[in-house]
Structure 1
Amino acid sequence: MRPTSGKLTLLSRRVFHMMILFIQQDGDKEIYRRALGEFMKSMEYGSKDISLLVDTINSLQHVTVEWNSDSFDSDNEVWHSEITSNLVSEVSIIRKGRGHEVFVEWSFAPKLREKLLDPHFYTRFSVVYFSLRSSASVALFEIIERYKTNPTKKTNREPWQWWVPRITGSLSENYEYKYFKRDVLRPAIAEINTLVTDYELELLEHRDDGGRKITSIQFAIHPLQQKKLDIDIPPLINGNLVEKLMSFGMSESDARKIFSENEEGDIEKTIELTEKRAQNKSLAPVVSKAGYFKNALLGKYASVQTETTLVNKSAKLAKVRTESTPAEKYAARQRVRSEEHFNLLPEKGRQGFIDNYFAHNNVSAVVTGYKKSGLKSTLFRQAFFEWLAIHLWGEPTVDEIEAFLSELEIA
């Protein structure tokens, strides 16, 4: 299944899968019912913010998914169908009054219910599932579990773009393959391989006929003979991170909402970025840590590497320029592209990139130039747009430089 509207977060995925676990226990029914407390206990929710859990349960009605279904006619010919429906057809939160237990009732569209009850489609849960800390890891784990018994020990091979919404849970994510691999696939595979007990997962990449561009991917499942140690299931909501967000001036409900809608790793990196920016005395003081954190998380400012890594990349790129005219031409083109991208942003977005730059780079001459002349500073513009190009598109590869030279020759 893949979402066609709405987004599945880590919390909403776990709520949905508890629903599936419950319907597998109950069998084929039109309406399913559980106490809200049973959801909380089974999920090890542990939070006092009950409204967040209720809102998450209700939100599943607004996520639509698409899947394929095969059927046979009277002549035994196969008919392929593409079906779209809401993830959950209807949700009711039943409250009898203060002091009484709250119940959740929900239902699925008939064809979706049939598919979810099919043991070949959906596997029962394991301790690994509830130990995974990112929604991408959970989504990939679900897919892989259904292919464990496949004789080839491989998933289907599909264009890499096909995998994006199925693993990220969102249609709005717009990736180049190298960033999808770096930011989503590699961390998810690493987390799964750390936790699973009976196999190791490998990414298989397939290139086009010319052998240069990756066009499709699949995953190989390598069985392991030796079992790993049992795993302690971590809490669903990391209380330490929630407390840290509250120390920035957020309310507990805002902090928990942010935690439920974003990856834990992104939150940790953005907290670190916010604290580092607040401690940078060479820049204007941060008026609101909470406001800065929210903007940085929204803009994914913390997705760049550490300051040391960025400095090393810049030094390496500078060395390449002195030795290679093609690399110098490519870098110049990238600076122009990054400046064009920057100029299209609203003022808030432009300032966000500048803040992000200074959070990772504080060369005194560049800081002085910016304070004195702003964007008119030649030294700042050179350093900033070089950094922005690396931040947006990464360090150039040999293939990218060669492709760029081919474009120049054609032009």
Structure 2
Amino acid sequence: MRTWSAPAVPSLSVAGPSVSLFDTTTGEVVETRPDGAARLYVCGITPYDATHMGHAATYVAFDLLNRAWRNAGHDVVYVQNVTDVDDPLLERATKVHVDWQELAERETQLFRDDMEALRVLPPEHYVGAVESIPLAIALIAKLQAAGATYTVDGDLYFSVTADATFGEVSRLDRDTMLALFGERGGDPDRDGKKDPLDCVLWLSERPDEPSWDSPFGRGRPGWHIECSAIALEHLGHAFDVQAGGNDLVFPHHEMSAGHAQVAHPAARFAQVYSHAGMVGYDGEKMSKSKGNLVFVSALRNSEVDPMAIRLTLLRKHYRSDWEWTDDLLWDAVDTLDVWRPLLALEAGAPAGPVVDAVLTALANDLDAPTAVAAAQAWMDATDSGDRTEPGSPAIIRTLLDATLGLDL
């Protein structure tokens, strides 16, 4: 699948420190230790209604990780999927009387446009669920050979008890798992399952739904096996970071890890699991099911500066849950109106301390609010008349671009 165009990112004259992240599995901030290129997987969209601010917050968050690693001297192999066949997509296509493939491509292109506008670095491998079906089939066959599968009315299921480490990613108790599984696409109440938490690997052919040939009969893959197969193919075992919104901790990331680790028991799926918080609107989590969405494309079409959208997101720590408001956006618009003339000056306040502060903040669990505050302090000092360092505005402008993705 075609990805989006990469923005030009300037190089810094100094290297950033090693990068630490909060790891969901340990509940602690841990240092990432890439061996060679840093390997990152961020779960992508189901393209039936893209891109709202919840999406944007997640992808901007892990764009900061991508940039922090690069500024620390690492190459980065970044992989993202697109779930371009799944129940929500098929249901939406049926409801609006549009071919499911047409809907998927339209919304995927909209997502690409939004990511370009927000200056998110593109993945090296951008892989659709449909094109990854051969990978999913091969991985399912490994699980079948390991004795970790069984059928229910023609559908092939994964036995979570086959994974001795099941539960270590999310660290949730069973009652919470059962509740979340039912809320997030699972089927805990289906008759015939060995364990209510077992998840579908291969869904047998349904009338009027797309299906593909496989050794398990015609059908299509489940959601979780898709990411397992794509990540293993393009990143290998024990890659550095598996990332996404915190609504993916369970069941998606737990199940994806289980599939990979049962098929390849000698290796962990990922070293660190990192999760972004949820963005709310009108008092509730922003979600397609509730319809309380603020779309990046709608703001862009209203001639809102994409850098103001990005700055609004950067002012909230990526792990926090928070609520989007128009006031936050308009404050970011006003801020950039002040920043841009200052960054165009020939001289300003000393840049060195700001460079250190921004790089250090982002290496410490992607602390963008602290980085933005450091930049704001430089702006305030320069605006107040401290223009003692020739060339410092250009240094700060480069810094904001390379680290925070703000092209000003």
The TM-score normalised by the length of structure 1 is 0.28
Which structure has more relative contact order (CA 8 Å, sep 6+)? It is: 2
Larger helix fraction of residues: 1
Greater gyration radius: 1
What TM-score comes out, normalization by structure 2 length? 0.28
